[in-house]
């Protein structure tokens, strides 16, 4: 399960093995060896297994739980509203969103998913108010 999930996550973001290795190497812990594209390729083929530290770095990079990455959880649930309101950087097409863009998108999605519905009673009140003027 892990090899398939890793490959799907990497390809879903259009990241090469080399790019993923570079990203993982940005957060090396003392005494830890750098990751290589060949090493990650071995993980994806199931030829080798990563250490706990590598799995944790992959989960952090892809913003998924370790349980999801190793197949203990079948799906990964994210509350979109919490994502937009969190301090986590959000990119769209490779460009980071500004705080204002995040807020605007949150408002658009919220109004789309929670539309204000008008009833016939609302229309009657509106017509009555218009006739008063």
Domain final residue pick, 40, 70, 100: 70
Residues 133 and 104 in one domain: yes
Q: How far apart are CA 70 and CA 73, in angstroms?
A: 8
| Residue 84 token pair | 């937009």
Can you give the pLDDT at residue 78? 66
Q: Is the pLDDT of residue 75 over 80?
A: no
Q: Are 91 and 97 in contact (CB under 8 A)?
A: yes
Binned at pLDDT 50, 70 and 90, residue 20 comes out as: very high
Domain holding 83, by residue range, is: 78-133
CA distance linking residue 67 with residue 70, whole number of Å: 5
62 touches 8 (CB < 8 A): no
- How many independent structural domains does the chain possess? 2
Least Cα distance to 84 among 60, 117, 109 occurs for: 109
């Amino acid at each position: 399960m892990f090899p398939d999930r890793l490959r799907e996550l990497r390809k879903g973001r259009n990241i090469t093995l080399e790019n993923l290795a570079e990203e993982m190497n940005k957060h090396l812990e003392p005494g830890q060896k750098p990751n290589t594209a060949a090493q990650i390729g071995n993980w994806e083929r199931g030829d080798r297994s990563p250490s706990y530290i590598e799995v944790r770095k992959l989960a952090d990079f892809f913003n998924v739980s370790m349980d999801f990455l190793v197949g203990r959880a079948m799906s990964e649930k994210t509350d979109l509203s919490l994502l937009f309101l969190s301090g986590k950087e959000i990119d769209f097409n490779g460009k980071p969103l500004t705080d204002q863009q995040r807020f605007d998108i949150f408002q658009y999605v919220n109004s789309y998913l929670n539309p204000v519905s008008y009833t016939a009673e609302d229309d009657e009140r509106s017509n009555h108010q218009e006739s008063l003027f």
